[in-house]
Amino acid sequence: MSMMRSVVLFAVAALFEIGGAWLVWQGVREHRGWAWIGAGVLALGAYGFVATLQPDANFGRILAAYGGVFVAGSLLWGMAVDGFRPDRWDVAGALVCLAGVAVIMYAPRDA
């Protein structure tokens, strides 16, 4: 159950961080205004909080693994929200990143 909880927390964190960054992007680059920027800042803060809920207590491990989730999640967000179409190299890179997440977070450890 701990691994499933961790995976769900990574997904929620990705939603907050990628969504927050997208909202700030929309507010600044697409001139949607301060309300969008403020919502983005709040979502980014929520991401920081969600990351602390991971079962593993090692900050460096959590953030390193989350980097791979962020890569794959960003491509998915772009597809869903902005009409981005990744090429095979984008997909291959995302899969490599997710494999890295699996090794960093879920490989058996002696401790």
Query: Which pTM was predicted?
Result: 0.90
* pLDDT tens digits, 2-35: 999 999 999 999 999 999 999 999 999 999 999 9
Whether residue 99 has pLDDT greater than 90: yes
DSSP string across 33-66? -HHHHHHHHHHHHHHHHHHTTSSS--HHHHHHHH
